[in-house]
């Protein structure tokens, strides 16, 4: 063990929809052990005796020891045995390093494990029991995480992303690692001021590219410079989990006077509450049928349509052929006067049939809705296998299937979101030349924002239905906006000291 202060690095991250019929199992996780996980932390510098981070400009160095990081694509609840196995491995790795000065927790914040309503608190509670009260714990999290009082009591310092779409993931990890280093070098034991806010909205309404989210999150940086403040974080929460901890919240971590930290937490929470009615979808939106009609009528291209209810990056199954159903009903697309790409639909059996038949084979397939038949019926299609690509690390085998003259649909062996140009170009698809591009997501990530001459948000049925007032919750606290509107609220701060 290094003579320098030592920080172990562990993490388990997934965003799990309790309304999905899917199950997240071990083979859905990418598990990085030891130095293999260090690609997530390029800001760490090599020291003479291993990985280290220059703490605070005072020449002090802190050794970072990577243990394990496990990450899964958002999906259904995590299988209990999978979680137990990963948790056991994390604890065993930490135990081998004891005593530790600190543990860095690389989390998402919206894990749901079968039988557990607060998986992060369960994991972190076990870590705290192992490492002891004197060991500092610091967590970086997604702003779409759900933060419970138990978690805030257990972890000494936090920081959450301030952008959605997420552009500051690495910067947030670096911030928490830096804060842990500083606290160790300066002997700081942080204080936390936490305010739960009874608001639960989807990320598509709370993007930081649009108002009021843009100003709310941009304004957080003004608090960082105040004396005694280490971090101010605002979580909007994850709306597609039915758990008591589902709500927005503010957490101020600092070293200063309690009254100052409390005042900041109250101010930020009140701002969020006061602007709750102003959050809305800031792109044109409607049913999938409406969005397809608008896109066909548009004189610009490409028009990007988000199939939001079946979005894998929010926990949807990625298996519903709703968009394709409306596209194949339009003669202008079937005859090739306009073109469309649908990326993609997860259907293992359809991929198997296409690969077995080979390129240029003409097939009749029944695709989709195998994993979530509640929201859309399977679709019978006739077309031609254009090409397939093997061994994608996320999707497995992928098939490009042409229907009529104008529609290309990507079929995948495993669930995969399509966010980046290389994912299309690998399949020899040219979305920049297509009239319509349909993707299974909510708000568009930067690559697709650049691509889109125009964008529509299709409010479709699925496990992550944007019409959240129609979702049946049993465990969230009430009253809760937007499910309840006629109630008063004012911030109440809970204080925690390390």
pLDDT band at residue 69 using 50, 70 and 90 as cut-offs: very high
Helices (H), 36-168: 80-95, 119-131, 149-154
Q: What is the structure's pLDDT at 59?
A: 46
For 378-437, how does the pLDDT look when each residue is reduced to its tens digit (9 = 90+)?
A: 999 999 999 999 999 999 999 999 999 999 999 999 999 999 999 999 999 999 999 999
Do residues 236 and 143 lie in contact, with contact meaning Cβ atoms separated by under 8 Å? yes
Do residues 459 and 307 lie in contact, with contact meaning Cβ atoms separated by under 8 Å? no
pLDDT band at residue 454 using 50, 70 and 90 as cut-offs: very high
Q: What is the structure's pLDDT at 378?
A: 95
Structural domain spans, the chain: 6-280+492-497, 285-465
Is 58 a residue whose pLDDT tops 70? no
Query: Across residues 239-259, what is the average pLDDT?
Result: 96
Q: What is the structure's pLDDT at 2?
A: 55
For 192-227, how does the pLDDT look when each residue is reduced to its tens digit (9 = 90+)?
A: 999 999 999 999 999 999 999 999 999 999 999 899
Do residues 152 and 192 lie in contact, with contact meaning Cβ atoms separated by under 8 Å? yes
Query: Across residues 98-122, what is the average pLDDT?
Result: 97
Q: What is the structure's pLDDT at 47?
A: 67
Report the percent of the chain where pLDDT is more than 90: 93
Mean pLDDT, rounded, of the chain: 95
Query: Across residues 452-457, what is the average pLDDT?
Result: 98
Count Cβ atoms below 10 Å from residue 13 Cβ, excluding itself.
23
pLDDT band at residue 149 using 50, 70 and 90 as cut-offs: very high
DSSP H helix total and E strand total for the chain: 13, 23
Distance CA 107, CA 121 (A): 11
Rg, the chain, Cα only: 24
Q: Which of 321, 277, 282 is nearest to 409 (CA)?
A: 321
For 371-387, how does the pLDDT look when each residue is reduced to its tens digit (9 = 90+)?
A: 777 888 999 999 999 99
**What is the H or E stretch that residue 352 is in?**
helix 348-357
Distance CA 110, CA 147 (A): 8
């Amino acid at each position: 063990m290094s003579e320098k202060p030592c920080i172990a690095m562990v993490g388990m991250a997934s965003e799990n929809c309790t309304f999905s019929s899917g199950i997240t199992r071990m083979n859905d996780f990418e598990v990085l052990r030891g130095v293999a996980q260090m690609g997530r932390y390029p800001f760490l510098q090599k020291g003479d005796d291993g990985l280290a981070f220059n703490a605070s400009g005072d020449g002090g160095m802190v050794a970072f020891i990577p243990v394990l990081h496990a990450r899964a694509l958002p999906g259904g609840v995590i299988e209990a045995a999978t979680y137990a196995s990963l948790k056991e491995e994390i604890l065993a790795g930490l135990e081998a390093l004891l005593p530790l000065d600190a543990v860095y927790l690389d989390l998402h914040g919206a894990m749901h494990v079968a039988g557990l309503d607060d998986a992060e608190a369960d994991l972190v509670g076990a870590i705290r029991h192992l490492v002891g009260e004197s060991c500092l714990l610091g967590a970086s999290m997604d702003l779409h995480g759900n933060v419970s009082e138990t978690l805030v009591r257990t972890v000494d310092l936090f920081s959450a992303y301030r952008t959605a779409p997420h552009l500051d993931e690495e910067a947030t990890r670096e911030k928490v690692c830096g804060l842990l280093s500083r606290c160790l070098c300066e002997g700081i034991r942080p204080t936390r001021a936490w305010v739960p806010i009874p608001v639960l909205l989807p990320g598509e309404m709370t993007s930081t590219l649009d108002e009021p989210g843009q100003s709310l999150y941009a304004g957080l940086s003004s608090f960082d410079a105040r004396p005694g403040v280490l971090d101010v974080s605002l979580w909007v929460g994850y709306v597609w989990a039915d758990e008591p901890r589902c709500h927005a919240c503010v957490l101020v971590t600092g070293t200063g006077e309690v009254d100052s930290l409390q005042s900041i937490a109250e101010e930020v929470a009140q701002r969020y509450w006061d602007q709750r009615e102003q959050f809305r979808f800031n792109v044109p939106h409607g049913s999938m049928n409406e969005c397809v009609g608008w896109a066909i009528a548009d004189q610009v291209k490409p028009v990007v349509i988000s199939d939001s209810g079946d979005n894998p990056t929010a926990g949807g199954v990625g298996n519903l052929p709703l968009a394709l159903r409306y596209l194949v009903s339009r003669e202008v697309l079937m005859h090739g006067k306009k073109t469309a790409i649908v990326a993609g639909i997860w259907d293992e059996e359809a991929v198997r049939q296409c690969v077995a038949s080979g390129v240029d084979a003409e097939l009749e397939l029944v695709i989709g809705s195998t994993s979530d038949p509640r929201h859309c019926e399977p679709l019978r299609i006739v077309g031609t296998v254009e090409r397939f690509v093997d061994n994608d690390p996320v999707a497995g085998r992928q098939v490009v299937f042409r229907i009529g003259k104008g529609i290309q649909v990507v079929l995948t062996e495993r669930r995969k979101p399509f966010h980046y140009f290389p994912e299309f170009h690998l399949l020899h698809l040219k979305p920049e030349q297509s009239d319509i591009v349909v993707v299974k997501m909510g708000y568009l990530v930067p690559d697709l924002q650049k691509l889109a001459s125009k964008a529509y948000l299709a409010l479709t049925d699925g496990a992550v239905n944007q019409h959240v007032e129609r979702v049946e919750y049993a465990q969230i606290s009430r009253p809760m906006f937007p499910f309840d509107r006629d109630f008063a609220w004012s911030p109440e701060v809970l204080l925690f000291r390390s």
